[in-house]
Amino acid sequence: MEALRLIAFDLDGTLLRTDGSISARTRSALAMAEAAGLTLMPVTARPPRRARQVAARTGLRGTAICSNGGLVYDLATDSVLRQNLLSAAAASALIESLRGAIPGVAFAIEAGVQYGCEHGYVIPSEHPNDRDDPRMRRGDALALCREGVTKLIVQHAGWPLEALLRITRAHAGALASVTHSGSAFVEVAAAGVTKALALEKYCAEHGIAAGQVIAFGDMPNDLPMLGWAGHGVAVANAHPEVLAAADEITSSNDDDGVAAVLERLARAGFTAS
């Protein structure tokens, strides 16, 4: 690696513990890196509102990449700086196609800072606030995606996640990017959208080379980002594909894996992998 300038990290399963908390050790390591002049960049599948919740608990500020690279978000001003929408036409075509192939499939949408779901969509237990959130729009998915979406969420309680992922990819074809981040649903974005592409564009705009970036992740949606960065680190609890592809494996998210690497890099002056 060159002299480090940016630390990119996934949140759930990577920076955050399994219970969603962040340890004092990890807070300290992030503060140390920021004090050394490094940019801290959350790169997450979370939509803006959930990235902001983490920022409020951790003191993170500045810019975050949300929705698997679908948008760039200012944590301080609660504003979308840039987004890449899956068009209404593409989203509608996929919804109708999947409804024909998988009776009972349900959808939710994220569109910038807006969000909504169908009445048949089961809100996951990890997102209990969504159940009573008055800002959560309710309605048919075709109506919800009328202005395009940052992320289309595909859910079916009776289908294993891997099977749902395969059939969604088959029906999406070249129209969209399809991935998952560990929750019991499939996530669909505009064609070409990845965490890596959004991070690469941000870095190009700020004169940061890939070799000056270290990235941390745990799930298949992190693979492009770990591959693009100068040094890609998987936490020990990561998906097998991520463990196989990473340049380094650190301890688990519950054992402060991100902090352990940052502490080592700090001792080396943030210049060595």
Residue 201 lies in a domain: yes
Q: Are residues 24 and 68 in the same domain?
A: yes
Q: What is the pLDDT of residue 273?
A: 45
Residues 92 and 72 in one domain: no
Could you report the per-residue pLDDT of 148-168, keeping only the tens digit for each? 999 999 999 899 999 999 999
Flag whether pLDDT at 1 surpasses 70: no
Q: State whether 103 and 13 are in the same domain.
A: no
- Do residue 169 and residue 229 come from a single domain? no
Q: What is the pLDDT of residues 247-262, one digit of tens each?
A: 999 999 999 999 999 9
Give the chain's end-to-end CA distance (angstroms, integer).
6
pLDDT per residue over 4-49, tens digit each? 999 999 999 999 999 989 999 999 999 999 999 999 999 999 999 8
pLDDT, tens only, 186-216: 999 999 999 999 999 999 999 999 999 999 9
Contact (Cβ atoms closer than 8 angstroms) between residue 23 and residue 253: no
Q: Is residue 1 part of a domain?
A: no
**pLDDT at position 246:** 98
Q: Are residues 180 and 213 in the same domain?
A: no
* pTM: predicted TM-score of the whole model, two decimal places: 0.88
Residue 272 belongs to a domain? no
Helix (H), strand (E) at residue 66: strand 63-66
Q: For residue 107, give the CATH number of its domain.
A: 3.30.1240.10
Same domain, 49 and 114: no
Does one domain contain both 177 and 105? Answer: yes
Question: Is 273 among the domain residues?
Answer: no
Same-domain check for residues 59 and 114: no
pLDDT at 54: 87
| Residue 182 domain boundaries | 88-190
Per the domain annotation, does 18 fall within a domain? yes
What residues are paired with 209 via a beta bridge?
Answer: none
Q: Are 217 and 242 in contact (CB under 8 A)?
A: yes
Q: Are residues 244 and 117 in the same domain?
A: no
